[in-house]
């Protein structure tokens, strides 16, 4: 952990030296997970977010692809962090001796879309997801564009991107239950009807409410190709076993539907995507013990995963429907 942070600090400081906007900036680590994220400040004012990936976690092409989408969002007037220019090289991606560093504008404001117990906050998350997805449908990425594909194998397969959920199992019975759930979601997601470039981690912690009350998505590190409703699974991260999960999902769908069309066939994918992501997060928590967030989850998180898996297998997760208000508005248009 200490070596990871020391290397990341050196990389972040080196990046600041070749970014004119960050001349003389101080860097402060704010998060450690797949990446070390820094806040870069000039005269005490936050100016940029710097992200240093763990060695081998991302290729330079994948990082450049993320920045290409951010630049396209900015050009289209969609709120998102902007790549920051450097002296030599492409905006937002600095090559240092200690690895690549992503450098984007700092988004000032309050983290979150509102009270997590208030359905309106999930409606707002749905709206933000729809705005990003609307852009992704129109945009044509460059030929070299490469981002992960968040299919069943990437979430719950033997080579899952975030590690195997099996690492968290304390007994053979727990492993059998999670294995059965993983097999079920894999079969339900095997022939997804649409894969789209999405944010993939659009939960409250990755949205900032600015002084003007605009909601700005941040942290596009997990952006990749996935089913459109995978952004709903992202919004429910760490809340899959919490009370009122179904009401939150319904609220997110209402918000999304105000900004983009919802295909009814997508809704059959929601709970498999939610459970698949919960299993993926369980693998992440077991394989990222040096992460402050993962380390704090503990045994109760695994027990929640078991409960969610059991609910899926027992058919206790209620099917979701397109809200009547959205159906009527579509039929009238």
Q: Where are the domains of the chain?
A: 2-106, 111-332
CA distance linking residue 106 with residue 82, whole number of Å: 8
Nearest residue to 261 (alpha-carbon basis) of 170, 67, 126, 153:
126
Nearest residue to 200 (alpha-carbon basis) of 248, 235, 251, 154:
235
b vs e for 69-100, b when ≥16 Cβ sit within 10 Å of the residue's Cβ?
bbbbbbeeebbbbbbbebeeeebbbbbbebbb
pLDDT of 331 strictly over 50: no
Q: Looking at residue 291, what is its pLDDT? A: 65
Assigned token pair, 192: 């997804």
Q: Looking at residue 283, what is its pLDDT? A: 96
pLDDT of 2 strictly over 80: no
Average pLDDT rounded to a whole number, residues 185-203: 90
Q: Looking at the domain 2-106, which fold is it? A: Phosphorylase Kinase; domain 1 (3.30.200)
Q: What value does the mean pLDDT of the chain take? A: 93
Q: Looking at residue 33, what is its pLDDT? A: 85
| Confidence band, pLDDT 50/70/90 cuts, at residue 330 | low
pLDDT of 129 strictly over 90: yes
CATH class of the domain defined by 111-332: alpha beta
b vs e for 28-66, b when ≥16 Cβ sit within 10 Å of the residue's Cβ?
eeebbbbbbbbbbbeeeebbbbbbbbbeeebeeebbbbb
Higher pLDDT, 34 or 11: 11
Tell if the pTM clears 0.75, that is, is over it: yes
pLDDT of 169 strictly over 90: yes
The residues with which 223 forms a beta bridge, in sequence order, are none
Average pLDDT rounded to a whole number, residues 173-181: 98
Contact 291, 57 (CB under 8 A): no
Average pLDDT rounded to a whole number, residues 154-174: 96
């Amino acid at each position: 952990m200490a070596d990871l942070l020391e290397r990341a600090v050196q990389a972040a400081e080196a990046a600041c030296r070749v970014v004119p906007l960050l001349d003389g900036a101080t860097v402060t680590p704010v998060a450690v997970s797949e990446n070390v994220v820094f806040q870069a400040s000039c005269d005490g004012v936050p100016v940029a977010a710097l992200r240093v990936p763990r060695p081998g976690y991302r290729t330079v092409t994948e990082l450049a692809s993320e920045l290409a989408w951010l630049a396209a969002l900015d050009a289209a007037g969609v709120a998102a962090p902007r790549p920051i220019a450097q002296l030599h090289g492409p905006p937002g991606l600095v090559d240092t001796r200690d690895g690549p560093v992503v450098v984007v504008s700092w988004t000032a404001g309050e983290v979150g879309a509102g009270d997590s117990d208030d359905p309106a906050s999930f409606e707002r998350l749905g709206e933000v997801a729809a705005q990003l997805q609307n852009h992704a449908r129109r945009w044509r990425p460059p030929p070299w564009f490469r981002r992960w594909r968040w299919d069943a194998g990437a979430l719950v397969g033997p080579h899952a991107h975030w590690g195997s959920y099996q690492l968290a199992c304390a007994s053979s019975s727990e492993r059998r239950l999670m294995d059965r759930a993983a097999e079920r979601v894999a079969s339900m997601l095997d022939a997804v009807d649409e894969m789209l470039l999405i944010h993939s981690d659009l939960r409250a912690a990755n949205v900032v409410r600015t002084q003007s009350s605009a909601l700005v998505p941040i942290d596009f590190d997990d952006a990749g190709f996935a089913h459109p409703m995978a952004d709903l699974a992202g919004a429910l991260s760490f809340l899959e076993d919490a009370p009122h999960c179904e009401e939150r999902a319904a609220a997110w769908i209402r918000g999304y539907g105000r900004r983009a069309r919802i295909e009814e066939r997508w809704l059959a994918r929601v709970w498999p995507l939610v459970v698949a992501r919960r299993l993926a997060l369980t693998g992440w928590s077991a394989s990222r013990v040096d992460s402050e967030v993962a380390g704090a989850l503990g045994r109760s998180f695994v027990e929640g995963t078991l409960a969610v898996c059991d609910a899926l297998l027992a058919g206790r997760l209620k099917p979701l429907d397109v809200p009547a208000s959205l159906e009527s508005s579509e039929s009238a248009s």
